[in-house]
Amino acid sequence: MMTKFDHPAVVLKREIIDERHLIITFRPAQKIEFVPGQYLSIVMEGMRPTPFSIASSTAQHDIEFGIGVYGESTTALRDIPIGTKVILRGPFGRFTLHDERRVCLLAGGVGITPFASMLRSLRDTGSDVDVVLLASGKQKRQILWFDELSALRPPLRAVFTLTEEQDPSLHHGRIDAAFIREHVPDFAQRTFYACGPPMFVDVMFAAFKELGVPEERMIKEAW
């Protein structure tokens, strides 16, 4: 039975990044209103509903997701034919920006997805909120929306670092307290949002504590 949270949609396009990463876009029958940072569950025939953070700007009609391929549902999405009908259920979630004026977003892997929605929405609405994204990936091609996010202009900016691949145009190494201090010198005035695998989020929170960030300015989303 359809509910007010159920939105019919079709698969519009898929971009296979590699065997473990893809970007998939759906076209809902009607525009879905959401807050950047929220998620939708994708309901496919024969599969359990699976939640994914929205990557789209609130100004977009189409709904985009960045997905790590690790199980049955995500493998099915990687192989789903264009035009397939699904239900997008939601939106849900409270991992959203509030009234902060200075923010630092820290992403590990596909944890960049909700931050893509935040940054795109702030850009598209001409917001003057000051946001720095620090994003870590194993290889450059695995950093989703790299070109678009690299092109952000103040008060939005993105800094990328790679943990495996060496690229002379990017930083190398993991994000830690020293990395944050170097690239976000005004960290004492910012609220921090971390998203990614639990180990990444735990390391980020340890770095925040090392920097003396108050607990009320540390917000996380892990899976």
Task: Please give the single-letter amino acid code of residue 199.
Answer: M
**Owner of token pair 């949609």:** 9
Contact 37, 111 (CB under 8 A): no
Q: Class of 6-92 per CATH?
A: mainly beta
* Mean pLDDT computed over 64-82: 94
Q: Which class is domain 102-222?
A: alpha beta
pLDDT digits (tens, 9 = 90+) for 89-118: 999 999 999 999 999 999 999 999 999 999
Report the pLDDT value the prediction gives residue 223, as an integer from 0 to 100. 66
Three-state DSSP class for residue 134: strand
Sorted by where each begins, the domain ranges of the chain are 6-92, 102-222
How high is the pLDDT of residue 3?
80
